[in-house]
Amino acid sequence: MTSEPSMMDAGLAWPAPAKLNLTLRVVGRRADGYHLLQTVFQFIDRCDRLWFDLREDGRIRRLNAVAGVAEDEDLTVRAARALQQATGCTLGADIRCEKRLPMGGGLGGGSSDAATTLVALNQLWGTGLDEDALSAIALPLGADVPVFVRGRAAWGEGVGERLTPVELPQPWYLVLTPPCAVPTRAVFTHPQLTRDSELITLADFLGGDVRNDCLPVVRRDYPEVAAALDCLSAWGGGRLTGTGACVFAVFADRDSALAACRQIPAQMRGFVAQGLNRSPVLDRLDQAVATG
């Protein structure tokens, strides 16, 4: 076993980017209770960072504590163990994660961490699975995990696992992070959630249909989210990502987004990030492949 990775050595880090849902429609429900969706995923250049220290004894350890998440429930640990089980790999890993993405924010932080774990350890362990095989392992971990494994902006259907890569504009976003977590389950089990939206096409989305069916429920039940949405009204109105709590507004350039960020009230927290059609984890993978 090698020494623990240094948190200061960014060159060894694997990024786990956030995503935004640029639209989210609930169009039905399966017999097993899962909701059928139409959504558009785009990454942003705000990332968690992960380090992996290989072990010869097969153990998977999480080196940093995560508030409210036991080690065995952590998606990075579960992802690593799922890859071990699927491939019979006898190696293990110590995993350290520097969290920059809020939990319960709709930015996909946990799912992204899990996907980066699968992509990184598949390379570092030499297990040799292709993207389809990794995505099959990813789906039981969460409906959003496959899009992070594939690493391309996508039109998503089904429970979010049927993905069609799309080329989108890559604008700048002002993302506000209200001081609350919105449990996905609470939103999807809410009696007033719209569950029968009409199907749209990708062309409809590109033409301006960016509705999020979760927004009315979240706005009413989470006043912190409502306040953040109202804060963004000066810039064309805020939009909810996923089931929230994070909200965002769209800007044509970085300077405009930064200017808006400087105008938000002092009690509001947020950041500026650029939309990405290609996940930075794919660039990190290319680097790892090139250096052996």
Q: Is 233 annotated as belonging to a binding site?
A: no
C-beta neighbour count of 235 within 10 angstroms: 18
Closest CA to 85 of 50, 60, 52, 120: 60
Dist. CA 250–CA 256, nearest whole Å: 10
Could you give the residue ranges of the DSSP H alpha helices within the chain?
Answer: 75-87, 109-124, 131-138, 145-150, 184-188, 202-206, 215-221, 223-231, 254-263, 280-291
Reduced to 3 states, what is the DSSP secondary structure of residue 2?
Answer: coil
Q: Is 104 annotated as belonging to a binding site?
A: yes
The residue from 9, 19, 132, 286 that is catalytic is 19
Q: Is 151 annotated as belonging to a binding site?
A: no
Q: Is 111 annotated as belonging to a binding site?
A: yes
Residue type present at position 90: T
58's torsion region: left (phi>0), alpha (psi -120 to 50) or beta? left
Can 19 be counted among the known catalytic residues? yes
Q: Is 197 annotated as belonging to a binding site?
A: no
Dist. CA 107–CA 79, nearest whole Å: 19
Dist. CA 120–CA 281, nearest whole Å: 9
Q: Is 208 annotated as belonging to a binding site?
A: no
Q: Is 88 annotated as belonging to a binding site?
A: no
Closest CA to 261 of 175, 171, 177, 179: 175
The residue from 48, 94, 144, 213 that is catalytic is 144
Cβ contact 148:281 at 8 Å = yes
Strand partners, 48: 16
Q: Is 105 annotated as belonging to a binding site?
A: yes
- What letters, b where the CB count within 10 A reaches 16 and e where it falls short, cover 147-177? bbbbbbbbbbbebbbebeebebeebbbbbbb
Can 99 be counted among the known catalytic residues? no
Q: Is 102 annotated as belonging to a binding site?
A: yes
For the annotated catalytic residues, the residue numbers are 19, 144
| Known binding residues | 102-112
Q: Which residues are annotated as a binding site for ATP?
A: 102-112
